[in-house]
Amino acid sequence: MLSYNYTEINFTISCPLIIQPFSLFIYIEVLTNTQPKYKMEFSAKQIAGILNGTIEGNPEVSITSLSKIEEGVPGSISFLANPVYTHYLYTTQASLVIINKDYELTGPVAATLIRVDSAAAAFAKLLEMYNQVKLNKTGISKHAYIAESAKTGEHIYAGEFAVICDNARIGNNVKIYPQVYVGDNVVIGDNTTLFAGVKIYSDTQIGKNCIIHSGTVIGSDGFRFEPQNEEGSRKVPQIGNVIIEDDVEIGANCAIDRATLGSTIIRKGVKFDNLVHIAHNVEVGESCYFAACTVIAGSTKVGKNCMFSGQVGITGHVQIADRTIITAQSGISKSVTAPGQVMMGSPAFDANKYRKAFVHFRNLDSLVQRVDKLEKKC
């Protein structure tokens, strides 16, 4: 059975990009035993008010979706920021297009326009607004399990087959998607989202406003074994935990190992791409960025504001100074002690020196042939 509600929602989004209160009309489709589905509908006039823009065209045109300018359809809103896509402005079927205030038209445009200081920034604001509405899930599924000793905050969401174990503490507005496992004694701060299939082992601490994407495992055992001569090896128990501070985002299918003793620590504002592995007792400083397939071995300490490109490997027990940049597929085998260096190669060294050396690497075969000829003459 399908029924419809029509309601008006007034709220203020507390994020850096959106600071004005605004009103949206949202159709709520209520399906039996399911979460509500939201379809936003708002006018060009409302959007212009949010963006502090000026309208050219029909201020009452109705918008229900967002689109790329080349894929616009009636009822959608798009934007033009990259000059490469300028010609689409005159052919798009989108009902509303955001453009820069200083853009000069060279022909007729069917769409209603909103002029703003920066079309790219304005559209990013709308995307964030849209995402907050789209992901605004609440309620606890009858198929979720929450231990009696667990404590949960207000307005949480727990999807189908989510598991929250003994003595876990879940903050306000936390979203736990289907098939997430939250182990014993785990702490999760306000406004954090765990997408489907995330596994959080016992004693992990996760801060506020974090996002952890599907398939990520946090708190699994570190890779540590002691050789026992002919008897093989003995596993070293890992009894520490993982601490993830506020405003951290972790991509899909990442692994962050618990410490042998103490804590593996991911500091405030760190951002991980997919398939990043952090070994036991690593400490990552504030506001670092990791592209996909980066691996850091045990007990390494990474400073603040570092940037690692894809497939970077860092050995264990080294120090990486603040603001270090490491290019793709580089291997770090010793500490980087001077802040702000750019490292390249495997083993990595100063990027400018590497580029000069690479000229000789490429010419190595011809150099060897020249040496061989000189040796034969001698």
Q: In what order do the strands lie in the sheet with 277-278?
A: 145-146, 163-164, 181-182, 199-200, 217-220, 255-257, 277-278, 295-296, 313-314, 331-332
Nearest to 349 by CA among 360, 315, 357, 291: 357
Judgement on whether residues 310 and 209 belong to the same structural domain of the protein = yes
Judgement on whether residues 177 and 113 belong to the same structural domain of the protein = no
Judgement on whether residues 256 and 308 belong to the same structural domain of the protein = yes
Q: Specify if 365 maps to a domain.
A: no
Q: Specify if 376 maps to a domain.
A: no
Q: Specify if 370 maps to a domain.
A: no
Judgement on whether residues 205 and 151 belong to the same structural domain of the protein = yes
Return d(Cα 219, Cα 258) in angstroms, integer: 4
Q: Specify if 234 maps to a domain.
A: yes
> In the annotation, is 87 catalytic?
no
Helix, strand, coil percentages, rounded to 5, for the chain: 15, 35, 50
Judgement on whether residues 222 and 341 belong to the same structural domain of the protein = yes
Domain ends where: 108, 134, 160?
A: 134
Encode 12-37: b = buried (16+ Cβ within 10 Å), e = exposed: ebeeeebeeebebebeeeeeeeeeee
Q: What's the pLDDT at 125?
A: 92
Q: For the chain, how many residues are written? A: 378
Judgement on whether residues 119 and 146 belong to the same structural domain of the protein = no
Query: Residue 271 is encoded by which pair of tokens?
Result: 């951002």
Distance linking the first and last C-alpha atoms of the chain? 94
Q: Specify if 69 maps to a domain.
A: yes
Judgement on whether residues 186 and 309 belong to the same structural domain of the protein = yes
Q: Is 99 within 8 Å of 79 (Cβ atoms)?
A: yes
Judgement on whether residues 29 and 115 belong to the same structural domain of the protein = yes
Annotated catalytic residue, options 143, 280, 317, 360:
280
Q: What's the pLDDT at 26?
A: 37
Query: How many domains does the structure of the chain reveal?
Result: 2
Query: Could you read off the pLDDT tens digit of each residue along the chain, which spans 378 residues?
Result: 233 333 333 333 333 333 333 333 333 333 333 344 556 788 999 999 999 999 999 999 999 999 999 999 999 999 999 999 999 999 999 999 999 999 999 999 999 999 999 999 999 999 888 888 888 888 999 999 999 999 999 999 999 999 999 999 999 999 999 999 999 999 999 999 999 999 999 999 999 999 999 999 999 999 999 988 777 889 999 999 999 999 999 999 999 999 999 999 999 999 999 999 999 999 999 999 999 999 999 999 999 999 999 999 999 999 999 999 999 999 999 999 999 999 999 999 999 999 988 888 888 888 888 888 888 887
Phi-psi region of 215 (alpha: psi -120 to 50; beta: other; left: phi over 0): left
Domain ends where: 112, 134, 156?
A: 134
Q: Which domain holds residue 194?
A: 139-355
Judgement on whether residues 39 and 170 belong to the same structural domain of the protein = no
Domain ends where: 116, 134, 152?
A: 134
Judgement on whether residues 148 and 75 belong to the same structural domain of the protein = no
Q: Specify if 39 maps to a domain.
A: yes
What CATH code is carried by the domain that includes residue 109? 3.40.1390.10
Give the number of other Cβ atoms within 10 Å of residue 326's Cβ.
Answer: 27
Q: Specify if 374 maps to a domain.
A: no
Judgement on whether residues 195 and 114 belong to the same structural domain of the protein = no
What CATH code is carried by the domain that includes residue 175? 2.160.10.10
Q: Specify if 378 maps to a domain.
A: no
Judgement on whether residues 257 and 343 belong to the same structural domain of the protein = yes
